[in-house]
């Protein structure tokens, strides 16, 4: 049976324990995702409390991290989503994404609506990818792809 959480505190505690286990065992998010058989972005989000994992993936992740059956159950449970508490984020990396949306949010909205019409881009039917590429001017660049299904507004 599918179960959903109404309070994210248990998932937050599990996320802390999972990250500690990941660190102790010197594992990468990619290694954890490989064990789960799913994408690195989805598994990372799930371990951090933002998605439910299928049973086989939850068991594989828990086994790799040395977590108990209660952790498996929580990993399979639909979480209360949202990992940034109210207000402006203070973590510099998260803040930069907030800043990007503050600067380019209206531009993205205008371009999406011009090209697709009235609607939204799904965060449920969604793919995320992060790649590190060489910068032709020296150093490195982050290429972040957000790939969501467009859902038109339907008058009723």
Residues labelled catalytic: 96, 99, 122
Q: Six-digit token pair at 136?
A: 């032709």
Of 50, 42, 52, nearest to 72 by C-alpha is 52
Q: Six-digit token pair at 9?
A: 């505190």
| CA 12, 16, 18, 19 torsion-angle sign | positive
Q: Six-digit token pair at 12?
A: 């937050």
Give dist(CA 72, CA 27) in Å, integer: 18
User: At 60, is the secondary structure helix, strand, or coil?
Assistant: helix
Q: Write the CB contacts of 74 (distance below 8 Å, at least 6 apart in sequence).
A: 10, 11, 14
Q: Write the CB contacts of 153 (distance below 8 Å, at least 6 apart in sequence).
A: 117, 118, 119, 120
């Amino acid at each position: 049976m599918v179960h959903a959480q109404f309070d994210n505190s248990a998932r937050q505690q599990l996320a802390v324990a999972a990250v500690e286990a990941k660190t102790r065992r010197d594992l990468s998010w990619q290694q954890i995702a490989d064990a789960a058989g799913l994408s690195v972005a989805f598994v990372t989000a799930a371990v951090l409390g933002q998605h439910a994992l299928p049973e086989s993936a939850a068991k594989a992740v828990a086994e790799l991290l040395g977590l108990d059956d209660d952790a498996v159950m929580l990993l399979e449970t639909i979480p209360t989503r949202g990992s940034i508490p109210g207000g402006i984020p203070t973590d510099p990396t998260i803040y930069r994404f907030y800043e990007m949306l503050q600067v380019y949010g209206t531009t993205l909205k205008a371009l999406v609506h011009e090209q697709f019409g009235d609607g939204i881009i799904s965060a449920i039917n969604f793919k995320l990818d992060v790649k590190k590429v060489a910068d032709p001017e020296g150093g490195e660049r982050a290429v972040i792809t957000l790939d969501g299904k467009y859902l038109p507004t339907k008058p009723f």
